[in-house]
Amino acid sequence: MPVNRKRMGFTVIELLMALAIISMLVGILIPALSMVRKAAREVKQKAQFTGIELALGAFKNDYGDYPPSDQFSHYTTPPINDYCGAQKLAEALLGWDLLGFHPKSAWRADGCDPARNPVYSPADPNLRQRKGPYLELATANAFRLGISAAGKRDGLFDSTGKLVPDRYVICDVFGIKKVTVIKPLTLEPITFYAGTPVLYFKANTSSKTIVPPPPYIYDIDDNVELINLRRVSDGKPHSIYNLSTFVPYIADPKASTETRPWPYRPDSYILISAGADGFYGTPDDIRNFGY
């Protein structure tokens, strides 16, 4: 009597078809997941800008104006271009040493007042005179620009050119650079992922132009030394590095003409994140102006 055997398992053709279907689904889902992650980071970056803008509003309420963004240490003869707009943004919102802003600050890289007296010190009474920090330190993404004064490689760049290396900048949220910092007292190394410094440009409201001759409403020189340091991850040059590329980058097409470009936000300030690629001036930048 013949035995009726029930077929078990899958045939090779069925397995191949199943694998093909799974591969198609993975091919569809992976780009979608990448887009979701990209959108989530952009939202997070815009949220950081919202926090910075609220902090700048509080700073202006306390001191009557937004912090300067020029590249010079004030009250030096001749002026020294060692302290850029991104560094001054960090001083205003967090303090020269992350302990709050001192009202007698002369916006110098050495932390002095106009008479060259140090005002940033953890000792009283200076600490009691400070205001802020205006941003929460735990989430501010503040990192030293370069190698610290103690010689530790705890910054974004090994070489910082003219800029003072042991002062802070506020980095964006994209985390493209691995940075190792040394924990005080224990000297334990801790690794973080830092983004690219957020560029800050304060508007010169007395000016009526962003093209030569100066003074400009917004001047690329405010952060040019920082931009010239190139990308933090691989050292490649940025897309905005001079006046001719910066002007169309910040120009508002609705308010500009062919002969008279006009910037976004001519009465306040602009913020620029280099985005996921770490390049300033590319389409993935996150800005507090434009589209």
Predicted confidence (pLDDT) at residue 260 exceeds the cutoff of 70: yes
Average pLDDT over residues 241-249: 93
For the entire predicted model, the pTM comes to: 0.86
Q: What share of the chain is helix, strand, coil (3-state, %, to 5)?
A: 30, 15, 55
Q: What is the pLDDT of residues 13-61, one digit of tens each?
A: 777 888 888 888 777 776 766 666 777 888 899 999 999 999 999 999 9
Q: What is the pLDDT of residues 124-150, one digit of tens each?
A: 677 888 988 999 998 899 999 987 666
Q: What is the pLDDT of residues 187-243, one digit of tens each?
A: 788 888 899 999 999 999 999 999 999 999 999 999 999 999 988 878 889 999 999
Q: Which tokens in the block code for residue 147?
A: 């190698």
Confidence of residue 75 (pLDDT cuts 50, 70, 90): confident
Could you give the CA distance from residue 230 to residue 278 in angstroms, rounded to a whole number? 9
